[in-house]
Amino acid sequence: MKKVIIIGATSGIGRALAILYAKNNWLVGATGRRRTLLDSLQHEFPNNVITECFDVTKEDNIECLKNLTQQLGGLDLLVYNSGYGEPSAELDWEIDKDTTSINVNGFIEIVNFTFNYFVLEGKGHIAATSSIAGNRGNSFAPAYSASKAFMSNYMEGLYLKAQRLKLPIDVTDIQPGFVKTKMAKGEGHFWVATVDKAARQIYSGIKNKKHRVYVTKRWWLIAKLVKILPMFIYKKIG
């Protein structure tokens, strides 16, 4: 039985992914801050889900990760799905601080540890949910778009590092557009995917060992377009 750890599995895409992997006979290590939601997931799949309750902004990430990996009996795949973002019209420091604590500090600590674990194991797969928003700066939530760009660039660096080491360590950067979760704030949304559809496409992309997965698939067009827009145009929408 293959083993996966999903960081941020209490709700939204993370929970949907945990359910998909459990239904496909994976042993799932589900993490999150809310014990009751983790317990309900474990009760739904008692033979396939093991939980570890922790907050990625605290200082015990690695110990919790080690404990969960030991309970699983190893690790084949880690999915970092924990994320945070709020509109910051007044450039609120508390919002920016929380955003970077989760999307940068928590992310890099866990993914760095996992990559080194897979180096020792000689194989593995890391996937992380960044965002289409990471392709350019965003005046509505500057820290969010910047932190997601950090995630994408770090994942690309790990992909290149695995190639240099000539190790079968796969790295998948997941870039969703709008998905119908609590993270989708504000107005003017389009091409909004359901959580189940997003999870199925992510699951498929990871299974096929894609380097980058756009959710839904047509968001690759927006990602490419945004990158090439000249600033005099982009500043009207960004």
Q: Could you tell me the sign of the dihedral formed by the alpha carbons of 127, 129, 133, 134, in that order? A: negative
Q: What is the 3-state secondary structure (H, E, C) of 148-215?
A: HHHHHHHHHHHHHHHHHHCCCEEEEEEEECCECCCCCCCCCCCCCECHHHHHHHHHHHHHCCCCEEEE
pLDDT at 210 over 70: yes
- How many folded domains does the chain comprise? 1
CA distance 1 to 215: 27
Is 144 among the catalytic positions? Answer: yes
Tens of pLDDT, residue by residue over 118-128, are 999 999 999 99
Q: What CATH number did the domain enclosing 105 receive?
A: 3.40.50.720
Domain hosting 223: range is: 3-234
- The residue-averaged pLDDT of 166-194 equals 80
Cβ–Cβ < 8 Å for 51, 7: no
**Annotated catalytic residue within 84, 144, 154, 214:** 144
Q: Write out the H or E segment, with its range, that includes residue 49.
A: strand 49-53
And the tokens for 190? Answer: 């389009």
Across the range 155-179, mean pLDDT stands at: 96
